[in-house]
Structure 1
Amino acid sequence: MKKILVLHGPNLNLLGTREPQIYGSTTLNDIDVMLKERAKAAGVELVSVQSNYEGKLIDEIQQAGKNGYEFILLNAAAFTHYSIAIRDAIAAVDVPVIELHISNVHKREEFRHHSVISPVVMGQIAGFGVDSYIAALDIALRKMGAAK
């Protein structure tokens, strides 16, 4: 069975209560359930991991190919803007990565406008709320030949 890994970065475990005017009221569990159901309908296994720790996300990226994942959907959250270590992990693996963000980072604070991981990912989706996750998943499914 084809597999996709979804990585959620720091503070995303607070979705649903964290700054709902920016991030909405949908919880991380709601997102994971929705993504898993959509992937399952396409015959793809989807595993989600959330961590507030950079090293955990790096370990997951480094092991993705060995664990049979064909795609990574990554919301690196704040790590997007400064984690050279996550950037280097992405560059070191052969698994394609889609960067995604719930909010439009380019309409927010200046420090959020730059992504150090964008140069090493397949593409970036930002600003569509939870639909950013859905769009990233749909693209991954199409690229894997699993879209229905």
Structure 2
Amino acid sequence: MKFRSILILAFAVSFTSGALLAEKSTEEHIKSLSSGSDSEKYESAVALGKNKEKSAIPELIQLLNRNNEPKIATAAAISLGKIAEPGDSTIALKNKIISSENGDIVYASLASLLNITTKNEKLEDSTKEAFEYADKNRRSDEFVADLLDLIKKKLKL
């Protein structure tokens, strides 16, 4: 629970400190996702999501797929949600919901799927599968359970 509060605070600080993140080019941020330190991966994921950089989607998906560090995986998931591009992003987020036991990662992935769905006004099959899986298998985390209830209400599932 404390981690989630710290995570939210960290995202707020990161998203409001644009001057620090603006020093790198988009290409440098994308490169940092695969070759940077953990803090560089985090900062780059946040910056790319903030800028809704669609060209970063493949690298953000790779980061989400190969990283189970909650801070980094949640940053990648949230960035994919901010970019809000359906297709490969929704499949990757669904797979992370299925493969991760970490409530923070699952929560961020669900929230991102909700954002992608509402922005595109379309519920993709992979998104529906992710919501159904989480509803059956991830309700033990009270925050995830609350988000699932909100999703059901908002999307009328």
| TM-score, scaled relative to structure 2 | 0.34
| TM-score, scaled relative to structure 1 | 0.35
Q: Normalized per residue, which structure has more strand?
A: 1
